[in-house]
Amino acid sequence: MTRTEALGLSVLVSVSLALAGCGRGATPPPAAANPPPSTAKVAPADVGSARLLNAASEPSQWMTYGGTYEEQRYSGLSAINRGNVAQLGLAWYADYDTNLQQEGSPLYIDGVIYVSTAWSKVYAFDARTGKTLWEYDPKTPGQWIVNVCCGIVNRGIAAWHGKIYVGTLDGRLVAIDAKTGKEVWSTLTIDPREHYSITGAPRVANGRVLIGEAGGEYGVRGYLSAYDAESGKLDWRFYTVPGNPKDGFENDAMRRAAKTWGGKWWRLGGGGTVWDSILYDPQTDLVYFGTGNGSPWNDQYRDPTDGDDLYVASIIAVQAETGEYVWHYQETPADTWDYDAVSPMMVLELTLDGKRRRVLVQPSKNGIFYLLDAATGKLLRAAPFTEVNWTTGIDMETGRPRVVPGARYVHGGVFDALPGGQGAHGWHPNAYSPQTGLLYVPTQHAYSVWMTDPHYKPSPIGYNLGINFGAQFTYYRSHPGVPQGFTSYLEAFDPLTGKIVWRGEANQGPTGAALATAGGLVFQGGGGSEEFRAYDASSGRKLWSIQAETGVLSGPISYELDGKQYVAVSVGGNSRGGFYAPNYSRMLVFTLGGRAKLPPATPYTPPPLNPPPATAPARVVAAGRAKYSQFCAACHGENGQTRGAAFPDLTRTPLLVSQDAFDQVVLKGVLSPQGMVSFAAVLQPADTAAIRAFIIARANELKRMPQFGPGPGVEGLEVGGRQPGG
């Protein structure tokens, strides 16, 4: 064996072990000294139509994703309030068996907390003590991660008649016995030959489980499905974009939509995936859901005729019983900026212009707050809830945005967009307080550069975007004076006036989700700040906070048990050390007078920035930059140095010392079980040599900087500039 071969083998072994992730924490959560006996024996997850319809009358529970069908994320509990929140302390915590980012919003039902974690796993905890009752692992194959856009995450679960439902990364919908954690049934919701995945939370309505899918970056056709909650049988499916006209159309909605498309869009799927927000309103008996970006992102490649491309970037309403189309509102016609319309929605009862109306509201990724009549979809209000530069506003007669000249970056143009691809508001749930009448929006102020990739060709593996990902680095480097950056904050927004009432403190990087309570509080995760906070819901004054030792992004909940109010949040998101650092993914549960303590953080030293010398010719580095931008930047960062902790920072990988070791991973796929599949279908050895040369050149450039820092910064909670999970 040559020295190079031996080095490559040792590198592969060490990287394989690192990619396997961090083990479950050894410190168990503290148990209550004398846990009180249960007052009544109830079946686990005993949730049916009657309880869900009247969920607001049971504030002690949190039985569905948004708290109630209206998904206002408001708790009627007030034992924890403005006057005593400073006494809030940790009651217990429970570690997960993963070192990856957590986005799952938990459920609390009759003494048990259920939560989904990375890799689509599900836990059940005793809500008094934190004892693990069971764990469910769907055993998602690591190879499937090549089809996952933005992180190995799961955003939530649903409950119905003794079962917990979860969607898996490889496209299954699974029913789990809530008592035992055993699988009851599993059904495949996708075509396994296509690049689909599931990261969003299912919802249950009238005995049906509603689930969407992700994959718009890879070239798929979006849809929403409804499955029988008892059997797993498909009841109905609504496609969000039309397919090949030669195959006929499923319904009149698809026939009408096809008239707004041009070219041969169906060859790349069209996009419009339903990767997050789904809401059932029992009063209208409608299901509302948002649709994602078109596929590819760049409208010039998707539809050269400049059509609106229905129903991309839209809110759609269908009948809950049949899935039949009722209405739609398209927020971003001919979307070319990745402005998904999938951000969380809620239903409110508001008095507008002297008339009481039931409305659907959404602060969208494109920076505009929309208020629609829930029954008809009529646009009633539209106003920016943060700074935007792609539009001057919404024409209330047509409902269309007035797009500024140059924003579409056609004919070689460049556009520094606000919001960028990260979005002004992503998947992070909002909250609403009927006490204040305010909507609490996790808001992001982030730029990104849009530039067409003139050499784009559809690829069978990796992203199909049609944009130059590398422009995020090259444009800002050559234009240091243009606006850029990524900050976030919690915002209190008046849905009646369209005015911003207050903003919380700013963070670098992404934000976290919100919860409003009858105690006059808003709880919110600080994202990369690693802080969990409580604000005065009226004034925005921060009244309490705690350092969670990790990123706090997912939706908090509140519940009552044995006469005490609790607040629970699932945390995990490495913001300081990079992919290999511990990120302390856990369930944290707080109550007044809680005295539990988290164990101290483990000291960690990031891998050194110590690349081989950069010796490749400039033309090879340039070729490597182009290939890297097309196939690698989406996960590992647009400039060779990942912004995130969801994937390794390649400027620091030991694989750089050996082309053979590099190719064993990239071409041979030796790390496929960990999610890094082979790219041999689209890359040749000369391509990987150029990619490695580019990364080495970039690493040496970083090393020469006066302060290149020890590792990724707080922007690390975002992947390649996108929202994880999309």
Task: Give DSSP secondary structure letters for 449-514.
Answer: EEEB-TT----SSS----B-TTHHHHHHHH-TTS---EEEEEEEEETTTTEEEEE---EES----E
> What counts of helices (H) and strands (E) characterise the chain?
9, 40
Give dist(CA 239, CA 251) in Å, integer. Answer: 9
DSSP code of residue 647: S
Task: Report the residue count for the chain.
Answer: 726
Checking DSSP bridges between strand 557-561 and strand 223-228, what pairing results, if any?
Answer: unpaired
Q: Provide the edge-to-edge strand list for the sheet that holds 346-352.
A: 346-352, 355-363, 368-373, 379-384
Beta strands, E only, 406-466: 414-417, 431-433, 438-446, 448-451
Looking up tokens 């000369």, which residue turns up?
686
Query: Helix, strand or coil for residue 687?
Result: helix
Half-sphere exposure of 39 (CA within 13 A, CB side): 5
371 neighbors 425 (Cβ within 8 angstroms): no
Query: Distance between CA atoms of 161 and 547, rounded to whole angstroms?
Result: 37
What's the burial of 618, exposed, middle or buried (CB within 10 Å: 0-12/13-18/19+)?
exposed
Torsion of CA 508, 513, 518, 521, to 10 degrees: -10
Angle at 426 between CA 676 and CA 187, to 5 degrees: 55
- Count the alpha carbons within 13 Å of 378 in the hemisphere toward its beta carbon: 7
Secondary structure, 3-state, 341-394: CCCCCEEEEEEECCEEEEEEEEECCCCEEEEEECCCCCEEEEEECCCCCCEEEE
- Active-site positions read 338
DSSP SS3 for 695: helix
Give one DSSP letter per residue of 54-98, joined into a string. Answer: TGGG-TT-B-STTSSTT---EE---SS-TTTGGGEEEEEEEE-S-
Query: What is the Cα–Cα distance from 549 to 546, expressed in whole angstroms?
Result: 9
C-alpha–C-alpha distance, residues 298 and 410, integer Å: 10
**Structure-token pair, residue 563:** 């006469």
Q: Which amino acid is at 410?
A: V
Rounded Cα distance, 458 and 724, in Å: 23
CB 588 within 8 Å of CB 548? yes
| 140 φ, ψ (degrees, to nearest 5) | -65, 125
Return the DSSP state at 126: E
